[in-house]
Amino acid sequence: WILAWMGLEINTMAIIPLMAQQHHPRATEATTKYFLTQATAAAMILFASTMNAWTMGDWNINQISHPLATTTVTLALALKIGLAPMHFWLPEVLQGLNLTTGLVLSTWQKLAPFALILQISQNTNPALLTTLGVMSALVGGWGGLNQTQLRKLLAYSSIAHLGWMIIILQFMPALTLLNLTIYITMTSTMFLSLKIMASTKINSLALAWPKTPTLTTLIMLSLLSLGGLPPLTGFMPKWLILQELAKQDLPITATIMAMSALLSLFFYLR
Amino acid sequence: MLKILIPTLMLIPTTWLTPKSWVWTTTTAQSLAIALLSLTWLKWTSETGWSTSGPYMATDPLSTPLLVLTCWLLPLMILASQNHISPEPINRQRSYITLLILLQTFLIMAFGATEIIMFYIMFEATLIPTLIIITRWGNQTERLNAGTYFLFYTLAGSLPLLVALLMTQKDMGTLSMLIIQHTKPTNLLSWGDKIWWVGCLLAFLVKMPLYGVHLWLPKAHVEAPIAGSMVLAAVLLKLGGYGMMRITIMLDPLTKELAYPFIILALWGIIMTGSICLRQTDLKSLIAYSSVSHMGLVAGGILIQTPWGFTGAIILMIAHGLVSSALFCLANTNYERTHSRTLLLTRGLQMILPLMATWWFIANLANLALPPLPNLMGELAIITSLFSWSPWTIVSTGLGTLITAGYSLYMFLMTQRGPTPLHTISLHPSHTREHLLMAMHLIPVLLLVLKPELMWGVCH
């Protein structure tokens, strides 16, 4: 665990100067917020692992078994990636960054915590994971409804997708990985296309049609895919996740997740 | 099945590679060839009723008429769109045709699917091209709102369907339609099972549409361009009916009690939407509400689950598909000339466009279910089976027939008879293309009078 913690800290330190590159006050504010949240999360991870080592005598990542320790470490990792109810930093931080850094934040930064999450998945509290997942999906959907800034929109979409990923973790971690991969691909597409068009608000997207019609079509398709419409690829993780949930006799959870996907779809559609 | 799917997909390179002046001709010709090829599906030779062309795609007497209808409509859609698309740059015309072809492919795969999940995916997939057609090529500013309504109504109904289907797969092990018709009836007793039943049906009821959840239909129809309206009215609504027919096989015996509120909604909807039609000022809106009314009859016929009910439902679906599409084409000819859908502004056309008045006459007669047209066959079968289910339904169905006759005649008289307003005297005469379009719509309706067995192979 010590090495994992060190890795996470170095990751945070490395990205801080990248975020602060733009000498805009909002960028600095975003950097500060990010640093604070990530440092808190890392400290909590250290605390949880030490507590586990103290009570169970084990430093191994996937043998963390004391219930308090597992809960703490799950919450800490959730804070790191931005799951509800610890998601409040994500929209503002993302808003303060330029699009490339935002891309890195949304995609690459999620890989490390997810590696840890996957490894501790057997011992985590199922109720906690389900709560985190459902809340994230709902918050991601509701929060994005009133947004016009594209980066905040993508932040809320990230929260919603992470919710989907977490909820299947306890049943089939392979699906979490699949969802993560597909999400990274789709979000990278979105960020890169937005960067090409240099637009950060919904209004500026409306002018995109005369500039690059091909790119606009691609953006539309990838947005619909993010929303999870068949027959686009974005539907596949949602479908498989719902299938697993149904197999585990959790139809209500499945229906709630599906309806929250509708919320996200609404703001993608704009 | 592949004989039809591959030429349809190959239509897409055809549209992009043919030179500019030949695009419309070649696409119409090729889609017409595909439509004629699809008529071969109408020969059912298999014992079990399903003629398979693969483990996942099969046709049976229920899906074949709808498939033929879909394939037949593609050349008609392309014909109808020629005029209003022509001012646009050629690449946009090509992308419009490509969207229509994609929609067609998804529809063929939906009607030919044997796994219910594949049907579901194709059902959802048809939403995307339709959404793009409505929002991108619609005529009014309200089209964005219409597209949103359309998408969200349908999706809100179909996501519970997905969950319900996945639960069924867990319980029964398979969702193949070939197998489900032979499984023993499930024991459905608890509240959760009742919710599962509603979840299965809700998507199709929204799509049909049932009276309570029909708000998306008039919006979508009015805002869509002509090809969008045609395909929406003719085929997409039938997807809902077809899905309902397939799903009710596994929903027994719960349906006997739970179907009551929906049957009542459907019957009440016939009368209500018919009455709205009598007060409409917008021509396309009138035809849209008449669609809701007919589909209410279809829903009633399916929900009571009798053989005659099913037969009547499918006959009415086919006939309504053709006639409704024909009416939309007629409304579009008016719209292209006057750029207005208001009934008051397009009166008295018999003086100016007499041949088109003939088509108006025939289409309206078909709409009000004149014998011996198949519209009447379907309506009569449904009304009879509803009557045998409960004698009180004759009140609403009889009243509904009367009101249908009322607004169809109203539509005819308003557009054709009466004094011609002065501003319409200088309209263009009818194009041959429009006459061809109307003929190709209405001749199959007349031909079906001669051999209705093509449509009701399900139960006889």
Q: Give helix A89-96 / helix A150-167 axis angle, nearest 10°.
A: 140
* Chain A interface test: which of B124, B166, B190 (most A C-beta within 10 Å): B166
For chain B, how many residues are written? 460
Sign of the four-CA dihedral B354, B292, B317, B31: positive
User: What's the rounded Cα separation, in Å, for the pair A178 and A172?
Assistant: 10
In this predicted structure, what is the pLDDT of residue A209?
A: 62
Question: Mean pLDDT over all residues of chain B?
Answer: 82
In this predicted structure, what is the pLDDT of residue B373?
A: 86
Domain spans in chain A, listed from the N-terminal domain onward: 1-121, 125-269
Give B-chain residues touching A242 at CB under 8 angstroms.
162-163, 166
Would you say residue B424 has pLDDT above 70?
A: no
* Chain B interface test: which of A226, A269, A270 (most B C-beta within 10 Å): A269
H or E element in which residue B51 lies:
strand B51-52
The beta strands (E) that lie in chain A are given as none
DSSP class per residue in B284-302: HHHHHHHHHHHHHHHHHHH
Give B-chain residues touching A251 at CB under 8 angstroms.
163-164, 167, 192, 196
- The H-assigned helical ranges of B208-306 are 216-223, 226-231, 237-247, 255-258, 260-278, 283-303
Domain spans in chain B, listed from the N-terminal domain onward: 1-40+55-252, 261-459
**Tokens for B399?**
């009243």
In this predicted structure, what is the pLDDT of residue A203?
A: 62
Selection from A193, A183, A229 nearest residue A214 by Cα = A193
Q: Are B55 and B47 in contact (CB under 8 A)?
A: no
Name the 3-class secondary structure at B328. Answer: helix
Highest mean pLDDT (candidates A72-76, B336-340, B380-384)? B380-384
Instruction: List residues bridging with B176 in a β-sheet.
Output: B115
Give the mean pLDDT of A166-183.
80
- Nearest-CA distance B323 → chain A (Å): 31
User: What's the rounded Cα separation, in Å, for the pair A55 and A120?
Assistant: 17
Would you say residue B105 has pLDDT above 70?
A: yes
On whether any CB of chain A is under 8 Å from the CB of B90, the answer is no
User: Which one of B159, B166, B167 has the shortest CB-CB distance to A262?
Assistant: B159
User: What's the rounded Cα separation, in Å, for the pair A255 and B196?
Assistant: 11
User: What's the rounded Cα separation, in Å, for the pair A159 and A82?
Assistant: 6
Q: Are A149 and A201 in contact (CB under 8 A)?
A: yes
Q: pLDDT tens digits for A23-49?
A: 777 778 888 888 888 888 888 888 888
Would you say residue B374 has pLDDT above 80?
A: yes
Selection from B417, B424, B255 nearest residue B340 by Cα = B424
Judge: B163–A251 Cβ closer than 8 Å, yes or no: yes
Interface of A with B in 42-101 (CB under 8 A): none
Would you say residue B328 has pLDDT above 60?
A: yes
Q: Which residue of A has its CA nearest to B164?
A: A251
In this predicted structure, what is the pLDDT of residue B84?
A: 79
* Chain A interface test: which of B155, B163, B196, B198 (most A C-beta within 10 Å): B163
Judge: A247–B125 Cβ closer than 8 Å, yes or no: no
Question: Mean pLDDT over all residues of chain A?
Answer: 76
Would you say residue B430 has pLDDT above 60?
A: yes
In this predicted structure, what is the pLDDT of residue B460?
A: 54
Would you say residue B96 has pLDDT above 80?
A: yes
Give the mean pLDDT of B428-455.
84
Would you say residue B288 has pLDDT above 80?
A: yes
Backbone angles phi, psi at B52, to 5 degrees: -95, 150
In this predicted structure, what is the pLDDT of residue B231?
A: 82
